[in-house]
Amino acid sequence: MKKAEFDLYTDYLLSTFGAATVTGLSAMVEGEVSHDRIARFLSERNYTARDSWQQVKSTVRQIQRADRVLIFDDTPQEKAWNDESELMCWHYHPCSGRNISGINPLNALYHCSGTSIPVVFEFVRKPFEYRDIETRQVKRKGKVTNNELMRQIIDTCLHNTLPFRFVLIDSWFFPGRTSILLQARSNSSSPG
């Protein structure tokens, strides 16, 4: 897929309300980009946080400073009618106060002057099944906790020589506390 088509696809995802589909994009541009072409592009490999970083790296390098903040947020997305898997499973949704079936990306945003740029994302995965002793229900568990996943993402940001002073996170990362502001480790490496 050409860069212009990739940009068109990502703009479509960001601006679409409701269901975003490759056929919807194709229809929106009156068939100028076929849905098959977009589907082949999306299925050719698994895209990762590294791919995302390559897309935003030059923009971040232009605005980076040591006094910036890194904001963490999980954004559970309900997908109630899909089969359960390590990626598509039950997650607690703090806004609704209940567990939902769906995906749960954990995002790190680099915040600067009122703008937040996504610099790393990871999906919360729960590959292990177990039976709850009290309820006898089958549940899923991850290899790492969400807190450990967040710390891995911070390490990735440090590895990418992303300078920041504070990390802002939701209170669920540290149960029992209402708000958290962590001072980041010094990052003296030169930008890469």
Q: pLDDT of 147-169, one tens digit each?
A: 888 889 999 999 999 999 999 88
- DSSP E strand boundaries for 41-114: 69-74, 77-78, 89-93, 98-103, 105-112
CB 160 within 8 A of CB 184: no
Please state, in angstroms and as integers, the Cα–Cα distance from residue 14 to each residue in 7, 52, 104, 129, 161, following that order: 11, 14, 17, 34, 27
* HSE (side-chain half, CA atoms, 13 Å) at 21: 5
Domain ranges of the chain: 1-44, 47-183
Q: What is the mean pLDDT of residues 63-77?
A: 88
pTM exceeding the 0.85 threshold for the entire prediction: no
